[in-house]
């Protein structure tokens, strides 16, 4: 029953056309859209002649728990995780395509609130970006798939492979806060049997609102992708799997070593190195003076391979959704 005492309308009892009629008006039109939802495909402007495209999947179980996230937060996070990948290429996000596979007993209101989260996430993090199409289906597992597009606006894409020895390594956004929030949820957002629990989570939200929000509805600095590109960033990537693991990927692509500074990382806490899902932007710049406002220097690019901390080699383990969620069933 809903809070009003009325049994909510369920996805399995609602025609697709009715679902679309209730969901689509909740999305904001994308500025780049020439043809939006309603035809077999959308038409989106690409003034640069090129476009950036990325996709990300969120599945109930390995990627989120409904007891820990509101539907609005799920929509926001689905937007954030894709917008950050576009930003990491130095592009401006322009449009999203959203596919939802919902369980038949899911209230239609849940999907409406999820759509609200996507709309508000785009408005807050990438103004002008909106949903231009997608698909709906029914599944035994709630699944959210988003594809994002971006405009390079005449700039070259910023790749992972451009860092060179002598560059300065910097990051925009938080480090480890999403993982710290998730750690709280694993330890205290559960019932007596260890299953994710909405009532326990509500208490955590009241006690640690910023940390829980960092996990359930992250707000990465999307606009800093374009700023970094304009400042001459030589390499950049989204930090979704933890600073250490993603830094090792950038180092491998550029065939360099990234030497991190413990002094720079210490204020960010114990999850800074290995905690995932902050969706911050890790970038290399040719000089210290080139590092733009909003980025914090955390190390240097030096000859060699791999990642080190104050010159000591590190094992590049990080966020792994397949292992991180093991044992957290229910």
184 within 8 A of 190, measured Cβ to Cβ: no
The reply, when asked if residue 55 is annotated as ligand binding, is: yes
Instruction: Report how far residue 24's alpha carbon sits from residue 10's, in angstroms, rounded to the nearest whole number.
Output: 17
Closest CA to 169 of 279, 81, 254, 274: 254
The reply, when asked if residue 135 is annotated as ligand binding, is: yes
The Cβ of residue 139 has, within 10 Å, a number of other Cβ atoms equal to 13
81 within 8 A of 278, measured Cβ to Cβ: no
The reply, when asked if residue 103 is annotated as ligand binding, is: no
Strand, helix or coil for residue 31: coil
The reply, when asked if residue 31 is annotated as ligand binding, is: no
The reply, when asked if residue 241 is annotated as ligand binding, is: yes
The reply, when asked if residue 259 is annotated as ligand binding, is: no
Instruction: Report how far residue 173's alpha carbon sits from residue 249's, in angstroms, rounded to the nearest whole number.
Output: 19
The reply, when asked if residue 289 is annotated as ligand binding, is: no
The reply, when asked if residue 143 is annotated as ligand binding, is: no
Closest CA to 119 of 42, 219, 29: 29
H or E element in which residue 61 lies: none
68 within 8 A of 185, measured Cβ to Cβ: yes
The reply, when asked if residue 278 is annotated as ligand binding, is: no
The reply, when asked if residue 238 is annotated as ligand binding, is: yes
91 within 8 A of 157, measured Cβ to Cβ: yes
**127: buried, middle or exposed (CB in 10 Å: 19+, 13-18, 0-12)?**
middle
The reply, when asked if residue 305 is annotated as ligand binding, is: no
The reply, when asked if residue 296 is annotated as ligand binding, is: no
The reply, when asked if residue 320 is annotated as ligand binding, is: no
227 within 8 A of 81, measured Cβ to Cβ: no
The reply, when asked if residue 313 is annotated as ligand binding, is: no
Q: Where is the binding site for Mg(2+), in residues?
A: 40, 54-56, 85, 135, 238, 241
Known binding residues for ATP are 134-135, 160, 240
- Residue ranges for the known binding site for substrate are 63, 277, 319
For the annotated binding site, the residues are 40, 54-56, 63, 85, 134-135, 160, 238, 240-241, 277, 319
């Amino acid at each position: 029953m809903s809070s009003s005492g009325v049994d909510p309308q369920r996805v399995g009892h609602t025609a697709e056309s009715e679902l679309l009629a209730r969901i689509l008006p909740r999305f904001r039109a994308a500025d780049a859209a020439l043809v939006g939802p309603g035809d077999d495909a959308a038409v989106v402007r690409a003034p640069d002649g090129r476009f950036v495209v990325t996709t990300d999947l969120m599945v109930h179980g390995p990627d989120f728990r409904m007891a820990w996230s509101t539907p609005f937060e799920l929509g926001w996070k689905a937007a954030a995780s894709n917008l950050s990948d576009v930003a990491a290429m130095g592009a401006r996000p322009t449009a999203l395509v959203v596919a939802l596979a919902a369980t038949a007993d899911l209230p239609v209101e849940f999907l409406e609130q999820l759509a609200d989260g996507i709309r508000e996430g785009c408005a807050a993090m990438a103004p002008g970006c909106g949903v231009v199409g997608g698909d709906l289906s029914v599944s035994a597992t709630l699944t959210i798939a988003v594809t994002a597009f971006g405009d390079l606006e005449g700039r070259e894409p910023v790749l992972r492979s451009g860092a060179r020895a002598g560059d300065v390594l910097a990051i925009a956004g938080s480090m480890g806060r999403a993982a710290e929030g998730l750690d709280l949820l694993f330890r205290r957002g559960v019932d007596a049997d260890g299953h994710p629990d909405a009532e326990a989570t509500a208490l955590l939200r009241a006690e640690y609102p910023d940390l829980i929000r960092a996990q359930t509805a992250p707000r990465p600095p999307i606009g800093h992708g374009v700023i970094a590109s304009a400042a001459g960033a030589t390499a950049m990537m989204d930090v979704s799997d933890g600073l250490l693991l993603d830094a090792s990927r950038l180092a491998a692509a550029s065939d360099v070593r990234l030497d991190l500074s413990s002094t720079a990382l210490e204020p960010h806490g114990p999850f800074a190195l290995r905690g995932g899902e902050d969706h911050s932007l890790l970038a290399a710049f040719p000089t210290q003076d080139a590092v733009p406002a909003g980025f914090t220097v955390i190390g240097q690019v030096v000859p060699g391979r791999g990642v080190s901390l104050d010159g000591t080699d590190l094992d590049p383990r990080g966020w792994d959704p397949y292992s991180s969620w093991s044992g957290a069933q229910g």
